[in-house]
Chains A and B, each alone.
Chain A
Amino acid sequence: MATEERTKEILKGLHDSVYEFEEDDAVKWAKTALEEGVDPFVATMEGIAEGMIAAGEAYNEKKYFVPELLMCADALYAGLDILKPAIEASGRQAEVKGSIVLGVVEGDVHDIGKNLVKMMFEVAGWTVYDLGKDVPLDKFVEEQIKTDAEVVGLSALMTTSMLAMPVVIEKLRAKNPKVRILLGGAPVNPEVAEKYGADGYAKTAGTAVDEAINLLKVLKEEELGE
């Protein structure tokens, strides 16, 4: 077992290798964590995830741009690849925070923002069912039913493709009134989200996860109230 001090050092190693997008270091520190008996769940949440959250902040402050974030994501996934099987093997099921079906609506290929959103959800311990870009509208409904995901996140970057959002929302509600729907993308704003009948909206990838958690809280409260 690593001492407390050594554990801190390993967590910092994981954090920094993600933040500084050093993929090889992320692998090295993830292996070290396992070898020295650091709880892989702690290594993931307090090392890797914290590094990615710091990267997200650097992006908001315009210190980082999309290239840096994508590199951080590579380091993040390299570390996760090593830690995830260990979490599963330990029997200590990582606490799944929630699940989300995510995609860019039909007619729209702008997927860079959606990919960042996906990453933030993964970092926060969510299960993400990523449908990709230019997703046929019925696919959102099918995937939600198949996976029973609590949240569906729709992305659109054009005023043209944005018009697909209310159509998907209607389809989703018809099959499953309880599902929570989150919208995002440059032309969307809180008023549009409300008009389209969505449950939530987030302006950035960082705030998307918080917004989704709020939606789940409301969902849980409603269930308790029933």
Chain B
Amino acid sequence: MPDGKGAMTERERVLALLDRKKPDRVPIWPFAYQGFATVYTGTPISDAYNKPRVAYEAQKKTCHDFGWVFTPMLGYAAYGGWELGGEIKWPSGEFAQAPTVLKHPVETPDDVMSLKVPDVKTAGIVPIMKEFYDISSKELLDNEPFNVMQFGANGSFTIAGNISGPDRLCKWIIKKPDVAHRLLQLANEHISKLAAYWKELYGVENVIPLGGEPTSANQLISPNMFKEFAMPYITEINKMFIDMGYRHLYAHICGEHNANMEYWAQIPMGDPGIISIAQEVELFDAARYFPNDVILGNVNPAIIQTGTPEEVYAAVKKNVEDGKKIEGGYIFSPGCEMPPMAPVENIKAMSQAVFDHGWY
């Protein structure tokens, strides 16, 4: 249901924002790569994670049908556990939404100290991601500002937590800070090898690195812990990406991070970066902390799944009207992954609200 009115394409809208210019309308760039796209196109959710061709076609069709920005992506929030040597379970059944770590590669401080980062090319989901990006990098459609949205940036703390299990990382922060730091270094070592591999394969031109940080939310750790254990590692990784020549990074600040925002604001995000915030952080607060970056967010995904089309429309309208006031630029998205079971009527109401109220 593309609105068909605008002079600009979704690709041009996003690229205009990244050039610090105003687009004609707010772009819609939802977090709907995986579960939602597969459910909508009628294949099992696990295909989104382990069948690259099916996953790619599902994302492409979904973004086309609803008139959205398309940035092909294959990755998952529990990333790190399998990649560093553990075991994974694919989502199956009626209620599962994403892969789950079954066995963590480290359980004790000794395990951490002796863990070696495995060869990145064969690590966990990486070969599947490669197959996916091999496909996506071959074409650049007019709703694609980037044809590779490469998983790996700015998620150091969460990846570390996925390697050990977040509860262990939490305890080591207090009891064995040296072990926590070592784990974070291992996470960063893996990410930097991954980044070098992706750059070698796809260059930097049509590529945007992304990452997510659920596990460093204030629902789990304190702002001081964020400052000591998350900020330095995320900074290191983001600097590395920027030094490698990537112009823009996409950071999904997942969950309630209000007390961490002053630290997030010190982390380099590119020129400009895309700051994806959850519904727990106010749009204008995010804009205040990131005056020079583009803010992406942040309607509560729960409403999109459980609300009526009227409720969805009203929530999105409010978000878009606020977002348009953000000087540095704004892109519409739910605050986190689009629930796979969100009714199509609600999704249409969501897009329609942007088509009706998103014009500058």
| Residues in chain A within 8 A of chain B (CB atoms) | 21, 62, 65-68, 70-71, 74, 105-109, 112, 115, 134, 158-161, 163-164, 187
Minimum distance in angstroms from B307 CB to a CB of chain A: 11
Minimum distance in angstroms from A185 CB to a CB of chain B: 12
Determine whether the beta carbon of B170 is less than 8 Å from that of A107.
no
Determine whether the beta carbon of A160 is less than 8 Å from that of B341.
yes
Determine whether the beta carbon of B339 is less than 8 Å from that of A159.
yes
- Tell whether B41 is near chain A: CB-to-CB under 8 Å: no
| Residues in chain B within 8 A of chain A (CB atoms) | 35, 78, 89, 91, 93-97, 100-101, 166-167, 170-171, 173-175, 218-222, 225, 301-302, 305-306, 339-341
For B101, give the chain A residue with the smallest CB separation: A109
Determine whether the beta carbon of B173 is less than 8 Å from that of A109.
no
- Extra contacts besides A108-B95, A158-B97, A159-B306 (12): CB < 8 Å: A66-B220, A66-B221, A67-B222, A112-B166, A134-B96, A134-B100, A160-B95, A160-B96, A160-B339, A160-B340, A163-B94, A187-B302
| A70 neighbours in B (Cβ, 8 Å) | 167, 170-171
- A-B CB proximity, top 5 nearest: A107-B95, A107-B96, A67-B170, A164-B95, A65-B222
Give the contacting residue for B174; candidates A71, A107, A108, A161; CB below 8 A.
Answer: A71
**Complexed CA–CA distance, A142 and B95 (Å):** 20
Give the contacting residue for A107; candidates B78, B91, B222; CB below 8 A.
Answer: B91
Q: A65-B225, A105-B95, A109-B101 are in contact. Are A71 and B175 (CB under 8 A)?
A: yes
| B100 neighbours in A (Cβ, 8 Å) | 109, 134
Determine whether the beta carbon of A67 is less than 8 Å from that of B173.
yes
**Complexed CA–CA distance, A161 and B220 (Å):** 21
Determine whether the beta carbon of A112 is less than 8 Å from that of B94.
no
Give the contacting residue for B170; candidates A62, A66, A106, A161; CB below 8 A.
Answer: A66
**Complexed CA–CA distance, A74 and B167 (Å):** 12
Determine whether the beta carbon of A163 is less than 8 Å from that of B301.
no
Give the contacting residue for B78; candidates A105, A109, A187; CB below 8 A.
Answer: A109
**Complexed CA–CA distance, A163 and B341 (Å):** 10
Give the contacting residue for A164; candidates B94, B166, B218, B301; CB below 8 A.
Answer: B94
